[in-house]
Amino acid sequence: MTTPTPLEDRLRTLSRRPGVYLFKDARGEVIYVGKAKRLRDRVRSYFRSDHHRSIKTRELVRRIADFETMVVGSEAEALILEANLIKEHQPRFNLQLRDDKRYPYIKVTLDEAFPRVYVTRTVRDDGGRYFGPYTSVGSMRQALEVVKRLYTVRSCRYNLMKETPDRPCLDYHIGRCKAPCVGLQTQEDYRSMIDEILSILSGDTESLRRDVEARMRAASERLEFEEAARLRDVLRGLDSLSREQRVQSVGGGSRDVVGLARDGELAVGVVMQIRDGMLLGRETLRFTEIHDASEDELLSAFASRLYLGRGTHALRELPAEVLFPGEFDDRATLEGVLSEAAGRKVTTGVPKRGDKRRLVELASTNARHALEDRVALAYAADRADETLFDLQDKLDLKVVPRLMVCFDISHTQGSEVVASAVVFENGEPRKSDYRHMRIKGEWGNDDYASMHEAVTRYFRRRRDEKKPIPDLCLIDGGKGQLGAARQALESIDMGDVQLAALAKREEEVFLPGRSASVRLDRRDRALHVLQRIRNEAHRFAVSYNRKLRSKRTIRSELGEIPGIGPGRQQALLTRFGSVRAIRSASVREIARVPGFSEALATRVVTYLGK
């Protein structure tokens, strides 16, 4: 291969030190990031004879218009920099990994003076401690329930030490919090409680179990039966957690075990997180566009993504040992990086026999199961494609309806008129694109006019925001609603959007310009897709209508009380949740709500009592 002339001089002057190189295309986009022990040798190798190159590498070299290099002090620094640059640029010619699912974590905010404990699906390098990921949501909720029953962890979001409320919230009065926010619990006492919570979430329940059992007996002897019953429930929760851990016992020690499975262009990596012999969690990453990558390359990419692209919080929680199913070039370098980051020795190994080898085989078995799930999903996607092609054929559509939007109108005798716009992509809901809107026109129960407004507003906004226009616009209704939607699209010069309407009674499909309806077999999957999106649009519209109607009812009931304006109405609803709960509250409880005096609380109780 002939070296591109503009690059020849730069290739001759490259450094012989370790570093990272970035290849760029004609538009200046980074298309590949790599590391090298000797930058000069590695980068120049791409532009030599290509007879031994893979198709992917030849295509990469063909697209290189420029390159950039970064010299570092060691191979370890090159490994870290490469991982960070791949994460930043997501180059198309690097191996890419995707999370199969965003499993939940339990987070303890150790960076705060009075830490909180809650569930999150986002892991950040923010000083907090994360437990998980929990592949079983039931196990996670069980652990949280034990924590809630046994400990009084605050639920507020005050930045304590800098922000303090005037008075304790309801959690203090019902015994769920000891109000550190107003100085009723010391930081030392609160931190001691957090240390015990960390032990529970780490899997150490035995010592705590003995302590809870002793406290339960003592409460019973003092005839404090309510407290004894609460501690009894905590014991049951601890026993259940312990049983769950024993079921997942996989051998002694604390280690991460990596497994890998591959089938053609698909590959999946799994890491099993074992702590004190208990399997606390599994994490799955899948590769995309692996082409002819070797297992060595897959393992190297998996390890870099797993340990070097996550931030320091993940490295601080590393076990003393990480086991891999095979060798790869960067393993020794990775071991040094992990040890330095963790502040202690972290070993990596490739076991050949014994218990450790069996653990690696177990991780690889998990990876194979995950890979089979991916293949099953791909098959399901193929079936979805078949259904959409069938729908295109049955309705004589010009475009396969991969992106569909469905509209429905809902109102209460002409008031609270709302519209829903529900989006399906490849036959599945795309809930992030769901929209509902209040109809602005004074149309009352004129569904045609409301449909015209809803379709106009939705499509005009999609066009103005340069978002993809749906391949099919489905209307919940008959010929009248279909005609209104067609007029709406034509009024904004979008008459080329494909339209259809699905009438409920006979499940007939109406199409523009055709007097006769299309009747699909009741067992036809194409009809099932239309029914599913239509029913979802109806559900979404009705739920929004009910929400508005409920708000109106609540506001009118509370608004009849003299001195209770919108702000105080909202404060009451925030604290109690409903008018029914407010009606059941005492004068003292209502007086604790910000903005209420005892006199005003008495007025609320009196009016609602009527």
Note the pLDDT tens digit of each residue in 90-134: 888 887 776 545 567 788 898 899 998 888 877 777 778 887 666
pLDDT for the residue 21: 92
∠ CA(594), CA(595), CA(599), 5° rounding? Answer: 115
pLDDT for the residue 15: 86
Best CA proximity match to 19, nearest among 91, 74, 93, 88? 74
Angle between helices 566-576 and 525-559 (to 10 degrees): 120
Q: Average pLDDT, stretch 25-49? A: 87
329 vs 39: CA distance, rounded Å: 16
Percent of the chain residues topping a pLDDT of 70: 85
194 vs 188: CA distance, rounded Å: 10
Has domain 5-94 been given CATH number 3.40.50.1000? Answer: no
To the nearest 10°, the Cα dihedral for 313, 314, 319, 325?
-170
Q: What tens digit of pLDDT does each residue of 154-165 get?
A: 878 788 888 888
pLDDT for 329 beyond 50: yes
**Which range, 79-93, 203-217, 266-280, is most confident?**
79-93
Has domain 255-372 been given CATH number 3.30.420? Answer: yes
pLDDT for 289 beyond 80: no
Q: What tens digit of pLDDT does each residue of 40-91 get?
A: 888 888 887 664 567 778 888 888 888 888 888 888 888 888 888 887 788 8
If you average pLDDT over every residue of the chain, what do you get? 81
Among 126-130, 352-356, 603-607, name the one with the lowest average pLDDT: 126-130
pTM of the model: 0.46
DSSP for 164-225, please give it. Answer: --SS--HHHHTTS---GGGTSS-HHHHHHHHHHHHHHHTT--HHHHHHHHHHHHHHHHTT-H
Pinpoint the alpha helices (H) of 35-177: 39-45, 55-63, 75-89, 137-150, 170-173
The dihedral region occupied by 127, where left means phi > 0, alpha psi between -120 and 50, and beta the remainder, is left
Sign of CA dihedral 483, 488, 490, 495: negative
Percent of the chain residues topping a pLDDT of 90: 15
Among 21-35, 125-139, 249-263, name the one with the lowest average pLDDT: 125-139
Task: Please state the φ and ψ torsions of residue 187, each to the nearest 5 degrees.
Answer: -65, -35
pLDDT for 369 beyond 70: yes
pLDDT for 550 beyond 70: no
Sign of CA dihedral 131, 146, 204, 351: negative
Compute the 3-state secondary structure of the chain and give helix, strand, coil in percent, each to the nearest 5. 50, 20, 35
The dihedral region occupied by 151, where left means phi > 0, alpha psi between -120 and 50, and beta the remainder, is beta
Give the per-residue SS3 of 384-412.
HHHHHHHHHHHHCCCCCCCEEEEEEEEEE
Split at pLDDT 50, 70, 90, the class of 382 is: low
Domain extents for the chain?
5-94, 105-247, 255-372, 403-548, 560-609
Split at pLDDT 50, 70, 90, the class of 206 is: confident
161 vs 59: CA distance, rounded Å: 58
What would be the CATH architecture of the domain defined by 560-609? Orthogonal Bundle (1.10)
The fold for domain 403-548 equals Nucleotidyltransferase; domain 5 (3.30.420)
Q: Which amino acid is at 536?
A: E
pLDDT for the residue 1: 44
Q: What tens digit of pLDDT does each residue of 390-437 get?
A: 888 889 888 888 899 999 998 877 677 889 999 998 888 888 899 989
Domains 255-372 and 403-548 share a fold: yes
84 vs 98: CA distance, rounded Å: 16
Q: Average pLDDT, stretch 502-527? A: 87
